[in-house]
Structure 1
Amino acid sequence: MFKSILVAVDGSEIGHRALEEALSVARAMGISVHAVHVVQTATYPSLTLNELEPPAIAQQALLDALDREADEILAGAEEKATTAGVSLTVHKRWGHPGAEIIALAQELGADLTVIGSHGKGRLGRFFLGSTSTYVVDHATSTVMVVRGEPDAS
């Protein structure tokens, strides 16, 4: 029996399906869920801000946009949880998604981590596919990988 669930959400269709699975398990067991969105800063290695350089303005704009997107994704997760009648706590992290998901699962004592098999588009599939693999390989508790619909191509 699970006592605590962590679900990774990224705004993709498969991320929505992972959230729905986590909420379904939580509702059946009468437990709450934690949702995490990790802003993948490793994709943007030059995001170290130096206020004396003009690129810092563009970098800050990108950081702000990523932060707003994360907030929107987490707000959507809260709405779905409310509709499902499940208590949900949201977490926003910055860094390597796999490492941040594993770290948060350990901090929370989550005994089930739910993650989508891949993320947005082909590029996202590469990154989040590697994230789901990382989580499966490094988790200290049960991991549920939710698969998406097969590609039509």
Structure 2
Amino acid sequence: MFRTVLVAVDGSEISHRALEEALAVARAMQASVHAVHVVQTGVYPTMILNNLEPPDIAQQAVLDSLEREADEILADTDRRAAAAGLRITPHKRWGHPGAEIIALAQELSADLTVVGSHGRGRLDRLFLGSVSSYVVDHATSTVMVVRAGPTAQDHGR
């Protein structure tokens, strides 16, 4: 029995499918749903975010753009959940996507973490994505990896 479901979203078609599957499980189990979007950062943006170095105008513009994109993705996720008759709790994180997904899953005591098989990167489309692979390797609870193809709605669940 799943009580708390966490789904990772990045705005890609596969993450929309992952959300659909997470919502189907949540509905069937009467579980709460949390959605996380992680803004991937490298060392330098992380230093800026941790106030180790003030950003210049160009860097701040990039950070602002990433922030807006994250907000848009989470707002779209909320709309999709509402259309399915469910409510989600959104979470925005900055850092390594896999590590942040695992950390949030542990903080929430999530019983199930749902991720897409690949994200928005080109190489991720060829193999099991590095984020989903990281989550599978490091999760302490059940992980559902959603591949491209039919969704729960297509199966009549």
In structure 2, what is the Cα distance between the partners aligned to 1:36 and 1:128? Answer: 19
Match of 2:20 in 1: 20
1:89 is matched with 89
* Residue 10 (str. 1) matches residue 21 (str. 2): no
**Cα drift, residue 124 of structure 1:** 5.2
Q: Deviations over 1:101-149 (max 9, x none)?
A: 0000000000100000101141454898111000000000000000125
TM-score, normalised relative to structure 1: 0.87
Percent of residue pairs bearing the same amino acid type: 73
Counterpart Cα distance in 2 of 1:133 and 1:68: 27
The answer to whether the aligner puts 1:58 opposite 2:58 as a matched pair is yes
Deviations for 1:22-80, whole angstroms, at most 9, x for unmatched residues? 011111122220000000002xx4324444xxx71111000000000000000011001
Provide the rounded CA distance (Å) in 2 between the counterparts of 1:4 and 1:102.
14
CA distance in 1, matches of 2:5, 2:19: 10
- Contact in 2 for aligned 1:119/1:127 (Cα 8 Å): no
The separation in 1 between residues aligned to 2:85 and 2:32, in whole angstroms, is 10
Matches within 5 A, 1:70-109: 70-109=70-109
Measure the CA separation in 1 of the matches of 2:127 and 2:108. Answer: 25
- Aligned to 2:44, which of 26, 46, 49? 46
- Aligned residues, how many? 144
Structure 2: tracts of 5 or more residues without a match: 150-157
CA–CA distance in 2 between the matches of 1:14 and 1:121?
12
* 1:13 counterpart letter in structure 2: E
The runs of 4+ residues in structure 1 deviating greater than 3 Å are 48-51, 123-128
- 2:44 aligned partner, one-letter code: S
Tell me the distance in 2 between the aligned counterparts of 1:146 and 1:135.
13
